[in-house]
Structure 1
Amino acid sequence: MEQFTISWIGAIAGLAIAIILILRKLNPVYALFVGAILGGLIGGANLEETLNFLVSGTQSVMGTVLRVLAAGVLAGVMMESGAAETIAQAIVKKFGGGKAIFALALATMIITAVGVFIPVAVLIVAPIALSVGNKSGISKLALLLALSSGGKAGNIISPNPNTIAAARGFNLDLSDVMLAGFIPAVCGLIVTVIVASLIKKKGVLVSDEEAQDGDIDTSKYPPLGRAIVAPLVAVVLLMINPIGSILGIDALEAFKVDALYILPIAGIIGMLAMGKGKKILEYSAAGLNKMTATVLILIGAGGIAGLISASDLSNQVVALIETSGISGTFLAPIAGILMAAATASTSTGVILATGSFGEAILNMGTAPLAAAAMVHTGATVIDSLPQGNYFHVTAGAMKMSIKQRLGLIPYEAIVGGTMAIVATLIYGFFL
């Protein structure tokens, strides 16, 4: 039986309805499902056909969901034990003073890169940033740019949901996608420091009261040597196979263990190293709880990705690119940018971009790893819009008004745009 194709108008309408409902404060999961259903009906599908693509779309993200849930063990250990705070404090102390902006950006980058969610990473480093900003006379705008964009740089080389989604979307190993993001991430960090330094006197400064509110008790945190065990084990295990491939060592190349196993194992080893073995149930439960919202949104994204995949939208976009005469390579970053902007989420944007445009991107002649890198970095350009939770969490962390937080979006786009351009040049044209 030939599969029914929905009109691209229905796909666009469904996505627009979902965005409007999210802006109207409907739970994002329900908003995505309602958008998918109405979009299917508008596009010419009946109720049964709409249900079929909804089920198909949600089934397509189950591999990602499993790995995200597994990553919850590592995330729970890093967040609940205080290991992430220890790492952040150590970095800021090491590079503080005149290098405060670099230290804050690097701290957020690293703790995001080792498996802490980017909004949580910003929440962890924000109290330190408020204190440093008050002493150094750095504006909240520059401080949050350092945290947010440093976190974005770390996010594209992390074992977080967005990277897992990029890897699964193109059937790649997680470690390969993490490595592919390294050079764009370093460029993103450099641009973050430059731009934040240029605007460090622009906007509202941190008051003495806000700085005092940021004081934190570090006495219960684990020492740095033990705090880095979990992320170190995760990185070493994830990199064994790629390093074996690069160096041509068969024994290492044969080590193919999925992140589904590696991330929980690393979390447990780190927990034992910190002497927290008795808290395995507590930490894993906390990690699972933190993953629940992300998993639900991924399932919702799978539903609307099913709508877009069942439509001829990708064909229309490909035709538009061919008509304009620009390289088909640009479809990958453009898909990442548009889908992440629509959903105000890096991971949801990657799910939509890979699920909806993945086949079209590969048909353009783009290699899977190149496609993953470009979609992934593209999803960091304008993903922090007001319809998403990240916008409001980060504004609250730095005690900023909505208007002040809106003023940061163009600067974040400069950093995300840099990473997308670097990835496109490297993987789209040079390699």
Structure 2
Amino acid sequence: MLSWWAALIGLAVAIVLILRKLNPVYSLLLGAVIGCLVGGANVVQTINVLITGSQSVMGTVLRVLAAGMLAGVMMESGSADTLARAIVSRLGDRFALFALALATMIITAVGVFIPVAVLIVAPIALEVGKRMNFSKLSLLVALSGGGKAGNIISPNPNTIAAAKGFNVQLSQVMIADFIPALVALAMTVLLATLIRHRGSAVIDADLVNLTRAANTDAQQLPSLGTSLVTPVLAIILLLLNPIGSIFHITALTQINLDAMYVLPIAAIVGALAMGQGGKLREFAQSGISRMTDVVLILIGAGAIGATITSSDLPNQIINLIKASGMSGTLLAPISGILMAAATASTSTGVILATGSFSKAILGFGVNPIAAAAMVHTGGIVIDHLPHGNYFHVTANAMHMDISERAHAIGYESLVGLSATVTATVLYGFLHIFF
């Protein structure tokens, strides 16, 4: 067994290298190698640890690749745009900020990556902001907060990683995070409303080409009915087993559909319903290209996770927390918060937290579903820092400079924290539903 301090050195090296902008995959692999070698393992043992860790994440890799098909259809077919426009237009100007947050939440919840969801809704938000005299800051908080709420109830890689990291069903994590997501949505709307006149206003230059593009897109987008086929079918199929368990319907409890084939099937049926079956190859290519980075990070995270679980670090953490008198339950949200902050990524943070600390968290007797929900919600608290892509993608989407974009960090963190506190109280301390 490796020494606990060697595992920590390996993890620290990986995080520092990520912060220094080295490719995250190589950072994680190099951290794992250093941790093993410093801990006393020879070259052969080190390779075995890395291979074992990589093999342990293959189930998650398959499901992430499957999710790529759904993401490709939702993003490339125009169905995500249709959903956003429908939500904002139906709720009207009176509930504009709520509509923007809800639209981003739903688009993310049905399988679109959060940066892409913000890019989709941003043009609509800028138009609304100009008309209603809302600041860019409030609009960004609405979009980002809504995206965070949707991200914890979505079949995205972060949710898949949280579920498989604790060996529970994807649908169970989605259901457990639903209440925290609603709290996060409410916090988003509250904060966006309070700061609606704080910060720079939307100017005419921000709207250049938006109106022309919107008119062109509106003629090419699929109908709302056909756009709903993919997400509705995916959600229904994923929730059949949990619904059967909740309402004691034996027939449904015997149906155990895995995301690995539910998500691609829903995507294919949805594409056919939209009359875009001929573009399935393009959708698949787009989806898998977006998942490639996540899959590679999963392999690297599996290696560093195996380094940690091959050491006595989990036991040392358990002993330390017990000696301090702090509740071991708090390790779940704290690990999610710290790992996502270090990597500025929800997916990478959740992958690292589950791979590195799941054994220690479960060692305190925490329910696996509760642990997954707390780690997962912890992953959205500080995942939007400047050393990550999300910070810069959203800044460009809202035509904000770096300084102005940085002002939203605190508000976004409050949104994520509201979800984390809710999950921790409900599932960690009150043991609701478990």
- Please classify the TM superposition score into its range, dividing by the shorter chain length: over 0.9
User: Aligned residue for 1:126?
Assistant: 122
Note if contact 1:131-1:212 (Cα within 8 Å) is conserved in structure 2: no
User: Aligned residue for 2:45?
Assistant: 49
> Larger deviation: 359-368 or 39-48?
39-48
User: Aligned residue for 2:3?
Assistant: 6
User: Aligned residue for 1:239?
Assistant: 239
Q: Which runs of at least 4 in structure 1 moved beyond 6 Å after TM superposition?
A: none
User: Aligned residue for 1:339?
Assistant: 339
Shift of 1:422: 0.4
User: Could you list the per-position Cα deviations for residues 159-200 of structure 1 after superposition, in whole angstroms to 9, with x for gaps in the alignment?
Assistant: 110111111111111111110010000000000100111112
Note if contact 2:12-2:31 (Cα within 8 Å) is conserved in structure 1: yes
1:326 aligns to what SS in structure 2? Answer: coil
User: Aligned residue for 2:99?
Assistant: 103
**Aligned mates of 2:259, 2:422 — CA distance in 1:** 26
Note if contact 2:318-2:363 (Cα within 8 Å) is conserved in structure 1: no
The residue type paired with residue 409 of structure 2 is: I
The residue type paired with residue 331 of structure 1 is: L
User: Could you list the per-position Cα deviations for residues 25-76 of structure 1 after superposition, in whole angstroms to 9, with x for gaps in the alignment?
Assistant: 3222122222222233334433333222222222111111100101111111
Q: Residues 13-412 of structure 1: matches in 2 within 5 Å?
A: 13-215=9-211, 216=214, 217-412=217-412
Shift of 1:298: 1.8
Note if contact 1:140-1:204 (Cα within 8 Å) is conserved in structure 2: yes
Shift of 1:404: 2.0
> Larger deviation: 303-312 or 270-279?
303-312
Provide closer, same or farther for how the CA distance between residues 314 and 386 of structure 1 changes in structure 2, counting only shifts above 3 A. farther
Provide closer, same or farther for how the CA distance between residues 204 and 19 of structure 1 changes in structure 2, counting only shifts above 3 A. farther
Provide closer, same or farther for how the CA distance between residues 261 and 186 of structure 1 changes in structure 2, counting only shifts above 3 A. same
**Aligned mates of 2:140, 2:276 — CA distance in 1:** 32
**Aligned mates of 1:407, 1:86 — CA distance in 2:** 30
Note if contact 1:381-1:415 (Cα within 8 Å) is conserved in structure 2: yes
**Aligned mates of 2:116, 2:18 — CA distance in 1:** 21
Shift of 1:98: 2.4
User: Could you list the per-position Cα deviations for residues 221-268 of structure 1 after superposition, in whole angstroms to 9, with x for gaps in the alignment?
Assistant: 001011011000001111111111111111111111111010000001
1:206 aligns to what SS in structure 2? Answer: coil
> Larger deviation: 57-66 or 46-55?
46-55
Note if contact 1:70-1:261 (Cα within 8 Å) is conserved in structure 2: yes
1:381 aligns to what SS in structure 2? Answer: coil
Provide closer, same or farther for how the CA distance between residues 307 and 203 of structure 1 changes in structure 2, counting only shifts above 3 A. farther
**Aligned mates of 2:145, 2:90 — CA distance in 1:** 20
Note if contact 2:240-2:252 (Cα within 8 Å) is conserved in structure 1: yes
2:9 aligns to what SS in structure 1? Answer: helix
**Aligned mates of 2:258, 2:59 — CA distance in 1:** 11
Q: Which runs of no fewer than 5 residues in structure 1 stay unpaired?
A: none
2:208 aligns to what SS in structure 1? Answer: helix
The residue type paired with residue 407 of structure 2 is: G
The residue type paired with residue 113 of structure 1 is: A
Note if contact 2:2-2:36 (Cα within 8 Å) is conserved in structure 1: no
Note if contact 2:317-2:360 (Cα within 8 Å) is conserved in structure 1: no
Provide closer, same or farther for how the CA distance between residues 403 and 201 of structure 1 changes in structure 2, counting only shifts above 3 A. same
**Aligned mates of 2:104, 2:203 — CA distance in 1:** 22
> Larger deviation: 95-104 or 157-166?
95-104
Provide closer, same or farther for how the CA distance between residues 284 and 327 of structure 1 changes in structure 2, counting only shifts above 3 A. same
1:219 aligns to what SS in structure 2? Answer: helix
The residue type paired with residue 243 of structure 1 is: I
The residue type paired with residue 313 of structure 1 is: L
1:255 aligns to what SS in structure 2? Answer: coil
1:218 aligns to what SS in structure 2? Answer: helix
Q: Which runs of no fewer than 5 residues in structure 2 stay unpaired?
A: none
Q: CA RMSD in A?
A: 1.5
Shift of 1:375: 0.9
Note if contact 1:240-1:255 (Cα within 8 Å) is conserved in structure 2: yes
**Aligned mates of 1:385, 1:109 — CA distance in 2:** 20
Note if contact 1:7-1:44 (Cα within 8 Å) is conserved in structure 2: no
> Larger deviation: 151-160 or 199-208?
199-208
**Aligned mates of 1:243, 1:65 — CA distance in 2:** 26
Shift of 1:213: 4.2
**Aligned mates of 1:361, 1:23 — CA distance in 2:** 26
User: Could you list the per-position Cα deviations for residues 379-410 of structure 1 after superposition, in whole angstroms to 9, with x for gaps in the alignment?
Assistant: 11111122222222112211222222222221
Shift of 1:158: 0.6
**Aligned mates of 1:150, 1:53 — CA distance in 2:** 39
Note if contact 1:6-1:45 (Cα within 8 Å) is conserved in structure 2: no
**Aligned mates of 2:110, 2:141 — CA distance in 1:** 20
**Aligned mates of 1:53, 1:339 — CA distance in 2:** 21
Provide closer, same or farther for how the CA distance between residues 406 and 418 of structure 1 changes in structure 2, counting only shifts above 3 A. same
**Aligned mates of 1:32, 1:265 — CA distance in 2:** 33
> Larger deviation: 316-325 or 116-125?
316-325
The residue type paired with residue 249 of structure 2 is: I
The residue type paired with residue 133 of structure 1 is: G
